[in-house]
Structure formats: structure tokens, C-alpha cells
Structure 1
Amino acid sequence: MTPQIVLITGALFGLFAVVLGAFGAHALKKIATEEQIKSFETGVKYQMYHALVLLFAGSYFETPGLVLYYAFTVGTFLFSFSIYGLVLSSATGKKMKFLGPVTPLGGLLLIVGWISLLLEFL
């Protein structure tokens, strides 16, 4: 994986974390419960954490590993975006329950990404 792709992905995740965080802080408060807002914020935090990890990996490694890149990218997407979908669909009364099992799958991929990062250092 080229560092440029990793950096672009990290920058896009960071950008959308800020946009979605602002949405959650303002627009979501009108339709969601406090618990739903906290869940949404968890998705935003994890998205930003992993945006920063991708920016680091793209800057630090000459050729970031494929497992590292895909585990963090797909894991972040599945974890955070499933939370966004669950919160938004629940807040509008049309909960997409099929997203429930997606969140832990994303979390598992994030763990794989962190293990891959550790192995890159070793």
C-alpha cells in the first residue's frame, strides 16, 4: 500500500469525523436521546483515533502493510458507520437491527489493525 493512499484515507476519515461530530453535537440533539448521542460520539471518537493512526502509518512507514491498512480502514468503516446507522435509524423510529452484529466485527478488525501495527514495529 502506498503511503499516499494511507494518508488520503486518514485525512478523509478525519474530515468526516469532524463533520459527523458537528452533526451529532447540533442536529442530532433535536431527534436523539442522550444515550444515542453518546453512542454516536463513540463512533466519531473511534473514527478520529483511527484517522490519526492512518496518518501516522502513512508518514512513518515507507510501505504500510496491506493488513494494517485494510484492517484499520474497513474496521473503522464497519465500527463507526454501523453505530451512526444504528443511532440515526433508531432516532427516527426505524432501527436497522442488522447493523448490530456489524459493530463488533468492525471492532475485531480494529484489533487486527493494532496487532498488525505492533508487528510492523517488531
Structure 2
Amino acid sequence: MSGRLALQAGALLAALSVAIGAFAAHALKTRLDPAMLANVETAARYQMYAALALMVLGTLPGQTRAPLPLLLGAIIFSGSLYLMAVTGLRWLGAITPIGGVLLIAGFVLAALDARR
């Protein structure tokens, strides 16, 4: 993934994180039970971590391996938690760790690429 694309993806992820977090805090606060609301907050927080990382990596030369796993990890991790919260389908929680592993892999790849 190019640096420019990583920056764009990170900025969009960040914007969505803020929008979803605000929506959950206001519109969903009375509609979701506290555990599901906490899931949305966790999803938005980790999405923002990935977004910030993508924006930083997009400015650094040689960071070509980390952005894609970070992007996919954010989509799968946060997306599965968002869907679980609004649908109540708890089996979606089984997908969440796949996104977590991709996020971890992305951060590890970023560290390895920084050594070059």
C-alpha cells in the first residue's frame, strides 16, 4: 500500500471512529446494554489507534508491509464488534480475534520495517 493510500485510509478510519463513537455515546446509549456499549467504545478506540498508525506510516518511507494488515485488522476487529453490538449476534465475537491478530501483525511489521 502506498504512503498516500495509507494516509487516506487512516484519515477515513479516524473520521469514522469519531462519528461512530459520537453516535454510540448519544443515540445508542439508551438502546444498548452497557456491555454492548462498551464493545462499541472498544471498537472505536482500536479503530482510532489503527487510523493514527496508518497516517503516521503513510508519511514514512519504507513502510509498505504494515498498512494493509492494520487496515484489515481495524475493519475486522472493529466491524465485528460494531455489528455484534447493534445486532446482538454474539457469534460475531468469534471473528474479532482475527482482526486483533492482524492489528498486532501490522504493528510488528511496522517495527520491522523501521529497522531497515
State TM-score, norm by structure 2. Answer: 0.94
CA change 1:96–1:38 in 2 (3 A) is: closer
Q: Does 1:4 align with 2:23?
A: no
Q: Distance in 1 between matches of 2:76 and 2:53?
A: 16
Q: Distance in 1 between matches of 2:8 and 2:46?
A: 18
- Give the gaps of 5 or more residues in structure 2: none
* C-alpha contact 1:2 1:63 (8 A) present in aligned 2: no
The number of residues matched between the two structures is 115
Structure 1 residues 29-59: Cα deviation after superposition (integer angstroms, max 9, x where no partner): 1210111111110000000011000010001
1:37 is matched with: 37
Structure 1 residues 53-91: Cα deviation after superposition (integer angstroms, max 9, x where no partner): 0010001x22421x311110000000001000001101x
Q: Distance in 1 between matches of 2:40 and 2:8?
A: 24
Which structure's residues are more often helix, by fraction? 1
- Give the gaps of 5 or more residues in structure 1: none
Question: How far did residue 96 of structure 1 move?
Answer: 5.7
Q: Does 1:103 align with 2:103?
A: no
4+ aligned runs moved over 6 Å, structure 1 = none
2:61 is matched with: 62
Percent identity reads 35
- Please tell me the root mean square deviation across aligned C-alpha atoms, in Å: 1.1
Q: Distance in 2 between matches of 1:5 and 1:20?
A: 22
